[in-house]
Structure 1
Amino acid sequence: MSDRSAPRYTLFGLAIIVLVVAIAALLARPAQSDSQGKADTAARPANTLQSLAELDGKAPSRRQLNIQHWTTAEGARVLFVEARELPMFDLRVTFAAGSSQDGGTPGLATLTNAMLNEGVAGKDVTAIAEGFEGLGADFGNGSYRDMAVASLRSLSASDKREPALKLFTEVVGQPTFPEDALKRIKNQLLAGFEYEKQNPGKIAGKTLFANLYGQHPYASPSDGTAESIPGITLAQLRTFHGKAYAAGNAVIALVGDLSRGEAEAIAAQVSAGLPKGAALAKPEQPVEPKPGTTHIDFPSKQTHLMLAELGIDRNDADWPALSLGNQILGGGAFGTRLMSEVREKRGLTYGVYSVFSPMQVRGPFMINLQTRAELSEGTLKLVQDILADYLKNGPTQQELDDAKRELAGSFPLSNASNASIVGQLGAIGFYNLPLSWLEDFMQQSQALSVEQVKAAMNKHLAADKLVIVTVGPKVAQQPLPAPTDKPAEQPLGVPEH
């Protein structure tokens, strides 16, 4: 995967994890009454922070989202939220143009997306960058397994907005794909592949996806491979752009200081500037992989452990229960089952995390950690036992209540910025979720019982179906320390890699 406006993310889906898991936390709750809101405003200065203790069980105040939607003449779906607080707007265009559409040429989607802002008619990459900068605008783009995105943040005044939109439309809709830029970006990717050979996390992640997905498009690294990248041609990029960046394959999300009429004009301009074409078909569902463990020898003081199995797609009705169940198991920070048993009681790791990554089709459920090499086998069995016990017995009522409270408290920050809202809108449109999804998710999550969470986790996960990858040295193993409130050997201060 690739993100041209930010540091590159780890292989095993952090971009998708950030998009999907963050959106899972961007959950609405019942609004306060007008009288309650006025009372709270009178009780404190307008700019003070609202603490969880102060809430005393009440739902935090939140920003109301009136999502408007329509379809452009060319077939692009549009979602818009008017937000007048700041004189600016955020635009995010999401295409079903991720690496799952590579069609047997790994890296094609990533290269196409990376080349968007390398040249348009009359402007090279430097002139494009200076054009956005001179208008106070910010352009971003990225490519992942399911999707590719292009984004624009600009001032909403017409003298800034109009030229920024014109340049954005040219970059996304009519890139020239200069040959010298293609050579440079290929060299950057190839250099990255060499670096990854020294990164056990990258090695583990690539192997895990290959073992988990087999012949499915999700199995291939989003960035491609050292074998596939050199042979990709300009003609292939232009063909891919023509079909994958078509208006009918796009979702346009807009948030900011715009009227409905201005938003319609922006969406129409962007849509008309894209190639003409229909939406691409999503990938087929993957087949169940064969469980088992793959070890890769790597000189290190630590061993990287990754455990996974197929999870759910983004439209699965069990997502609220699974999200909350995973939050208790290992999806949060301290206090989760995994963190408590593996780090806090035994000092075996700096951090251990679990995550569901729902995608267009069944995305992975993963557990990820590093531990001292001489304790790796015992740590792996401990993690497997914790998962098995959690599936057998489910969460406690207290764990569920705490998870619901944490989930409710996270929402005000999640929709505090236009950038976070435009990301939510893009995901709602891309995964064809109902416009009420944010509200629905929170209401469904807050209504869940212990038995419902347990049933959902057991429906989609099994302790004996895990695909496991370990990367580290082969060393004599030592027994695990007994659990204690004060581990004799504290975890390393930072991960080794």
Structure 2
Amino acid sequence: MKHFVVKRFVLAVGLIFGATLAQADIEIQQVESPGGFDAWLVEEHAIPFVALELRFKGGGSLDVEGKRGATNLMASLLEEGAGDMDARGFAEAKEGIAAQIGYDLNDDTLSISAKFLTETRDEGVDLLRASIVDPAFDEDSIERVRKQVLSGLASDATDPDKIVSRVFDGMVYGDHPYATDYSGTLESVSALTRDDIVEAWKNAIAKDRVVVSAAGDITAEELGALMDRLLSDLPDTGAPQPARVDVMTEAGVTVVPFDTPQSVAIFGHRGMKRNDPDFFAAYILNTIFGEGGFESRLMDEVREKRGLTYGVYSYLMPRDHAELVIGRVASANDRVAEAVEVIKAEWAKVASEGVTQQELDDAKTYLTGAYPLRFDGNGPIAKILAGMQLDDLDPDYIKTRNANIEAVTLEGINRVASELMKPDELAFVVVGQPVGLEAANVGQ
């Protein structure tokens, strides 16, 4: 039998205890179980509960061709009965031991978040194990959850925010799974069978793609035993991950006519990988440009100076198989054309002129000061550890992150601005009845 392997990294970060910010050492332990499963752990025995995070890489992108929405429907059914328990029995079992288990899906990841009291942790792990190893997928639950999904899809069909996302993704990602909503369509979800759901389960939940983290009242040895018990009976491998997609856009505007008093727009182009050496500079740049709330350039120019919107923002989106710099804005139909022109102008300005030293200094102060506030309990810490693993970061990232922020120079960030921001590739999709907006093409 393999022995437990534990590596420790002691990191000083700020923790919130009540209303007081205190400095504390977080020790991240890299744990390898006797069965060969890996996890990151932060022990904290002050409160008798543990937060556990599981991530299965692949997510909605693993749908088989022609079965769009199968992984989403499967994930929605994981708590609808397992083993010899039906949906009500599973819910009552969780409530009886005050356990929390939540399931979530996106294009790249199936996420499971759980919290267990120490005294009933074993029972909680048994419930979680049953849901991923032996889900019921009974026909009554399938039809009930299918109706819920279909109701959501029907609502999405008349939601401008959903429509604009669908059109933009289809334009940017081509025939990649990212191009369509992982929830599926009314037609595809209606046609899914139980066999399709079982296939999606086998494709998505497997040993070769799992990431585990934990924070709270549990030791490394106990976590190792927990992982072996929880994961050993899963399939060794799941479906292959999708290929990368090369994002290529042309500057222009696509208008989707829709009867609404306010137009909604998405804009963007190819971005930067999370592991790019310039990512910290790009991150600070975007904070200054579009993600810094009321202090960002976009909010100042589009909202504060001109009153064209209640909100506008941009963000970096480094996905597993593609990267974007992307943003959103909503404006009255008779004013959205002006908002689009202002965004174009600001995009070109930051690309050619960069940012100022004062903007850089202010962004550094904000980003380094806000970072410790994220570590405000076992649940958030476990999520952060899981995210770090998905991003292939080292355990010492928490210690070095702020230093990397501080190391970005004005020369460096402005070089990145000239390389990252591409006015000649900035594509817009606008849904609504925009007045006076020149459209490169029109579609639905």
The equivalent of 2:88 in structure 1 is 126
The equivalent of 1:68 in structure 2 is 29
Q: Note closer, same or farther for the CA distance 1:443–1:217 as it changes in structure 2 (3 Å cut).
A: same
The equivalent of 1:90 in structure 2 is 51
The equivalent of 1:378 in structure 2 is 338
Q: Work out the percentage of aligned pairs sharing the same amino acid.
A: 28
- Aligned pair 1:465/2:401, yes or no? no
Q: Distance in 1 between the 2:350 and 2:322 partners?
A: 22
SS at 1:221 equivalent: coil
AA of the residue aligned to 2:248: P
SS at 2:318 equivalent: coil
- Aligned pair 1:161/2:121, yes or no? yes
AA of the residue aligned to 1:369: V
Unmatched 5+ stretches in structure 2: 1-9, 438-444
1:94-493 residue pairs with structure 2 within 5 A? 94-104=55-65, 105-157=67-119, 160-273=120-233, 275-278=234-237, 281-291=240-250, 292-475=252-435
Q: Deviations over 1:401-446 (max 9, x none)?
A: 1111111111222011111111111112223222222233321111
Q: Distance in 2 between the 1:138 and 1:410 partners?
A: 28
Q: Distance in 1 between the 2:81 and 2:214 partners?
A: 25
Q: Note closer, same or farther for the CA distance 1:290–1:406 as it changes in structure 2 (3 Å cut).
A: closer
Contact 2:37 2:224 in 1 (8 A): no
Contact 1:329 1:337 in 2 (8 A): yes
The equivalent of 2:7 in structure 1 is none
The equivalent of 2:39 in structure 1 is 78
Q: Note closer, same or farther for the CA distance 1:75–1:214 as it changes in structure 2 (3 Å cut).
A: farther
Q: Distance in 2 between the 1:388 and 1:75 partners?
A: 51
The equivalent of 1:14 in structure 2 is none
AA of the residue aligned to 2:279: W
AA of the residue aligned to 1:375: R
SS at 1:268 equivalent: helix
1:11-26 residue pairs with structure 2 within 5 A? none
SS at 2:164 equivalent: helix
Q: Distance in 2 between the 1:304 and 1:258 partners?
A: 47
Instruction: Work out the number of aligned pairs and report it.
Output: 424
Q: Distance in 2 between the 1:264 and 1:235 partners?
A: 33
Q: Note closer, same or farther for the CA distance 1:354–1:202 as it changes in structure 2 (3 Å cut).
A: same
Q: Distance in 2 between the 1:74 and 1:364 partners?
A: 38
Q: Distance in 2 between the 1:385 and 1:317 partners?
A: 28
RMSD, matched Cα: 2.1
- 1:330 Cα deviation (Å)? 0.8
Q: Distance in 1 between the 2:318 and 2:158 partners?
A: 29
Contact 1:211 1:289 in 2 (8 A): no
- 1:31 Cα deviation (Å)? 4.7
SS at 1:314 equivalent: coil
Unmatched 5+ stretches in structure 1: 1-28, 38-45, 51-60, 478-497
Q: Distance in 1 between the 2:18 and 2:202 partners?
A: 49
TM-score (norm 2): 0.90
Q: Distance in 2 between the 1:467 and 1:418 partners?
A: 41
Q: Distance in 2 between the 1:100 and 1:437 partners?
A: 28
Contact 2:335 2:435 in 1 (8 A): no
TM-score (norm 1): 0.81
- 1:476 Cα deviation (Å)? 5.3
SS at 2:232 equivalent: helix
- 1:288 Cα deviation (Å)? 2.9
SS at 1:369 equivalent: strand
Contact 2:12 2:23 in 1 (8 A): yes
Q: Note closer, same or farther for the CA distance 1:476–1:210 as it changes in structure 2 (3 Å cut).
A: closer
Identify the structure with the greater strand proportion.
Answer: 2
Contact 1:249 1:280 in 2 (8 A): no
Q: Distance in 1 between the 2:200 and 2:292 partners?
A: 38
